[in-house]
Structure 1
């Protein structure tokens, strides 16, 4: 059975939480567990993709005092959660790209880069067959990647 690794990443690119689920679990159902397992004191903002967009996500984050920066699908309709409705209305009024720039949604590249580094350095497939061993394997993979990040990452500079 295929597994999915959900990770929480700090602004420095360190993996601060991780949850492994089966392939049919919706992303937004893992959010509360990801927040609870984070190794940091206070989370102020969550940047997430469309998979985490749900009314329940916004309710959870609002109750915890966490700002949600989640891209809703283009077909999203306003809902009873105010921050989500505000985002959807802003997109309808100003446009999708204006909203992305306003919220600096491009910061998600840190998350995508961390996932890319995990897959290219640790591997895209799990070697173990048993769930507990796979869980331990992803835990070790995250610790190894964090250790490498702490040792120093290359700094890219755009040349003109």
Structure 2
């Protein structure tokens, strides 16, 4: 889930994105990358996926990650389920080589077609990207929306440092939310 920063210098505006990978259970930011604004979200998917070692049961993301490269990177890490909502007019990927990325996306599309758009998204876990959206929201509320550093490598360090601070604050305590009926 990207966070956009705007840097103004004279008449030029520089935008930066913070891409994060969040653990669904602990709400901890496991991986983060700061990029320039013209880097699309799906290009950062594989680097974020490779930063986390160990077993991952499910990978969730928003519609920006509904690309063949994202599904292929999930398929290379055996045993993971993809919960990425396909586009409304989604068609199955037609591939000649029969790679694993094809079956993950087609399973999501098939489930949505059988159960309907909303019920299929809920059953397939496609609403789980809200955990990353909540982490980005906490980030925006707690920290200044601008970067103080001027050089790009220092901006990357500042973004990663803010993620580490957010993880430390999360470890000290998170609010408990309960549904009121």
Q: Is this a same-fold pair by TM over 0.5? A: yes
Query: How many aligned positions are there?
Result: 159
Give the alignment of 1:5-154 within 5 angstroms: 5-11=18-24, 12-38=26-52, 40-65=53-78, 66-80=80-94, 81-154=102-175
Distance in 2 of aligned mates of 1:86 and 1:105? 12
TM-score, structure 1 length as denominator?
0.92
TM-score, structure 2 length as denominator?
0.82
Tell me how far 1:15 sits from its aligned partner: 0.3
Q: CA RMSD in A?
A: 1.4
Distance of aligned partners of 1:98 and 1:143 in 2 relative to their CA distance in 1, 3 Å threshold:
same
Tell me how far 1:158 sits from its aligned partner: 2.5
The structure carrying a bigger helix percent of its residues is 1
Structure with higher Rg: it is: 2
Distance of aligned partners of 1:89 and 1:158 in 2 relative to their CA distance in 1, 3 Å threshold:
closer
Q: Tell me which residue corresponds to 2:4.
A: none
Distance in 1 of aligned mates of 2:49 and 2:127? 21
Distance in 1 of aligned mates of 2:85 and 2:146? 28
Unaligned stretches of 5+ in structure 2? Answer: 1-13, 95-101
Tell me how far 1:97 sits from its aligned partner: 0.8
